[in-house]
C-alpha cells in the first residue's frame, strides 16, 4: 500500500470526477425525458402547432441541461487539475467537490424539465399564448437552476481555496461536509421549484387572463422554496472559511461531517414540500384570481410550517459546528 | 494517531445526531407541504371556509411535525446528554 500523496490525489480526482458526472447526469436525463414526453403527446393533440412545440421543447431542454453541463465542467476540471502544493486535504477536497456538484445537479435537472413540459402541453391547448408561455417557462426554469449554481459555486470555491495552512485533522471532514451540505441541500429545492414553475405554465395556458397573478404567486412560492438551499450554502461556507484547531481526536471531525450531512439531507423534505404547496396555490390562482390574496396567505403559512424541520436541521448543524 | 474508546463513542454520537435530524426532516417536510397544498386547493374551491380550512391545516401539520420534533430531541440528547 503506497502513501505517496500524488497517487492519492490522482485517485481522488478521478473518483470525484466520476461522482460529479455520474450523479450529475441523473437529473437532466429525467427532466429532459419528461419534457420530450410532454412535447410528443402535445404534438399528437395539436399537430398544427408542432413547429412551436418543437422549438419550445428544445429551448426548455437546453435550460434543463445546464445542471448536467455544470457536472461535466467540474468533472473535466478534476481530470486535468494541477496540484501546486499537494497535501492530503486536497484528497477530501476533490471528493467533496465531486459529490457537491453531482448531488447538486439532480434537483435542478429534474425540476427544469417540468416547466418546459407543461409549456409544450400548454401550447397545444392554447396556441395563441405561445409567447407568454415561452417567457414563463424561461423565467421558471432559470430560477430552477439556482440550487445547482449554488453547488457549482461551492465546488469551485473548494477547488480553488488554499487549505495548505490548515491542519489535516479535522479540515478533511470540514471540506467533505461542505460539499455534502450544499450538494444534497440542492436536491429538494430544485425539484420543488420545478413543480411550481410547471404549475404556472399550465395555469397560463388554461386561463390566460390570470397569467400575471399566477406568475407573481409562482415567483413568491419559488423564493420561499429556495430557502433551504440557501441554508445549505450558508453551512458549507461556514465549513469552508472557518479555521478549525488541530486535533488528534475523531469526535471533532465527525461533528463537522455530521453538520454537513444534517443540513444537506434535512433540506430535501422542506424543499419538496414547499414546492408541492406552491404548486397547488399557483394552480388555484390560475383558476380564480379573485382568491389570490387568501391563497397566497395560506400558502405562506403552510410553507412556513413545512420549513420548520429545515430550520431544526440548520440549528443542529450550527450546534455541531460551533458548540460541541 | 491514537483513538480511544470514549472518542469513538463521541464521534459516533455526533455523526448520529446529524443523521437523525437530517433524515428525520424529510418526512415532515414533504408531509406538511402536502397538507398545505390540499388546503390551498380546498380554499380555491371554497373561499368562504378559509378560516376553518386554515385551522384544520395547521392542526394536521402540527401532528405531522411530531416526528421531526422527535428527531430533534434525539439529536439534542446525542449531542449533550449521551
What residues of chain B lie within 8 A of the CB of A324, using their CB? 14, 79-80
pLDDT of residue A10: 92
* Gyration radius of chain B's alpha carbons: 19
pLDDT of residue A87: 87
What is the rounded distance in angstroms from the CA atom of residue B15 to the CA atom of residue A299? 35
Helices (H), A81-210: 89-125, 130-144, 146-160, 168-185, 187-206
- Share of residues in chain B with pLDDT > 90 (%): 91
CB-based contact, B38 to chain A, within 8 Å: yes
Instruction: Give B18: exposed, middle or buried? Use CB within 10 Å, 0-12, 13-18, 19+.
Output: buried
Question: What residue ranges of chain A have pLDDT lower than 50?
Answer: none
pLDDT of residue B2: 60
A93 Cα distance to chain centroid: 20
pLDDT of residue A231: 97
Using CA atoms in the order B41, B44, B47, B52, what is the torsion angle rounded to 10 degrees? 10
Q: SS3 of A222, please?
A: helix
CB A297 within 8 A of CB A277: no
What is the rounded distance in angstroms from the CA atom of residue A40 to the CA atom of residue B65? 41
Q: With an 8 Å Cβ cutoff, are B37 and A277 in contact?
A: yes
**Domain boundaries in chain B?**
5-80
pLDDT of residue A294: 93
- Length of chain B in residues, anyone? 82
- Share of residues in chain A with pLDDT > 70 (%): 99
Helices (H), A161-267: 168-185, 187-206, 211-241, 251-266
What residues of chain A lie within 8 A of the CB of B18, using their CB? 255, 257-262, 316-317, 320
Mutate to test the interface with A, among B9, B10, B18 (most CBs of A within 10 A): B18
pLDDT of residue A174: 96
Residue window 42-71, chain B: list those with CB within 8 Å of chain A.
43-45, 47, 50, 53-54, 57-58, 61-62, 65, 68-69, 71
CB-based contact, B78 to chain A, within 8 Å: no
Q: With an 8 Å Cβ cutoff, are B44 and A316 in contact?
A: no
At B33-49, the pLDDT tens digits run: 999 999 999 999 999 99
pLDDT of residue B1: 53
A284 closest CB neighbour out of B24, B41, B72: B41
The ipTM of this complex is 0.94
Q: With an 8 Å Cβ cutoff, are B25 and A265 in contact?
A: yes
Q: What is the third-level CATH fold of B5-80?
A: F1FO ATP Synthase (1.20.20)
Using CA atoms in the order A126, A132, A134, A140, what is the torsion angle rounded to 10 degrees? -120
> Which residue ranges form the domains of chain A, and what is each CATH number?
17-322 (1.20.120.610)
Amino acid at each position: 500500500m503506497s502513501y505517496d500523496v500524488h497517487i492519492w490525489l490522482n485517485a481522488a480526482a478521478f473518483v470525484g470526477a466520476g461522482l460529479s458526472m455520474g450523479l450529475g447526469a441523473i437529473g437532466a436525463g429525467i427532466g429532459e425525458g419528461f419534457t420530450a414526453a410532454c412535447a410528443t403527446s402535445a404534438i399528437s393533440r395539436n399537430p398544427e402547432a408542432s413547429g412551436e412545440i418543437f422549438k419550445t421543447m428544445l429551448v426548455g431542454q437546453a435550460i434543463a441541461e445546464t445542471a448536467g453541463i455544470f457536472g461535466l465542467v467540474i468533472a473535466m476540471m478534476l481530470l486535468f487539475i494541477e496540484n501546486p502544493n499537494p497535501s492530503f486535504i486536497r484528497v477530501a477536497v476533490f471528493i467533496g467537490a465531486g459529490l457537491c456538484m453531482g448531488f447538486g445537479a439532480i434537483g435542478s435537472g429534474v425540476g427544469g424539465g417540468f416547466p418546459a413540459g407543461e409549456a409544450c402541453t400548454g401550447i397545444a391547448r392554447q396556441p395563441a399564448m405561445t409567447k407568454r408561455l415561452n417567457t414563463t417557462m424561461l423565467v421558471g426554469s432559470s430560477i430552477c437552476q439556482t440550487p445547482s449554481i449554488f453547488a457549482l459555486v461551492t465546488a469551485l470555491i473548494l477547488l480553488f481555496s488554499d487549505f495548505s495552512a490548515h491542519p489535516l485533522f479535522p479540515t478533511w471532514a470540514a471540506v467533505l461536509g461542505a460539499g455534502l451540505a450544499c450538494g444534497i441541500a440542492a436536491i429538494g429545492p430544485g425539484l420543488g421549484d420545478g413543480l411550481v414553475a410547471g404549475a404556472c405554465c399550465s395555469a397560463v395556458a388554461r386561463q390566460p387572463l390570470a397569467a400575471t397573478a399566477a406568475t407573481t404567486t409562482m415567483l413568491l412560492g419559488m423564493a420561499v422554496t429556495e430557502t433551504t438551499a440557501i441554508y445549505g450554502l450558508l453551512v458549507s461556507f461556514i465549513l469552508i472559511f472557518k479555521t478549525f484547531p488541530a486535533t488528534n481526536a475523531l469526535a471533532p471531525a465527525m461533528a463537522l461531517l455530521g453538520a454537513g450531512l444534517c443540513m444537506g439531507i434535512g433540506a430535501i423534505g422542506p424543499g419538496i414540500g414547499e414546492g408541492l404547496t406552491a404548486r397547488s396555490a399557483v394552480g388555484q390562482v390560475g383558476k380564480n384570481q379573485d382568491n389570490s390574496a387568501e391563497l397566497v396567505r395560506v400558502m405562506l403559512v403552510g410553507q412556513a410550517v413545512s420549513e420548520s424541520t429545515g430550520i431544526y436541521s440548520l440549528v443542529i448543524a450550527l450546534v455541531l459546528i460551533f458548540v460541541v | 494517531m491514537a483513538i480511544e474508546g470514549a472518542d469513538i463513542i463521541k464521534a459516533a454520537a455526533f455523526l448520529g445526531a446529524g443523521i437523525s435530524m437530517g433524515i428525520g426532516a424529510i418526512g415532515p417536510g414533504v408531509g406538511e407541504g402536502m397538507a398545505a397544498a390540499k388546503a390551498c386547493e380546498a380554499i380555491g374551491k371554497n373561499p368562504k371556509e378559509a378560516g376553518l380550512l386554515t385551522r384544520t391545516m395547521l392542526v394536521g401539520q402540527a401532528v405531522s411535525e411530531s416526528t421531526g420534533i422527535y428527531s430533534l430531541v434525539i439529536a439534542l440528547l446525542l449531542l449533550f446528554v449521551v
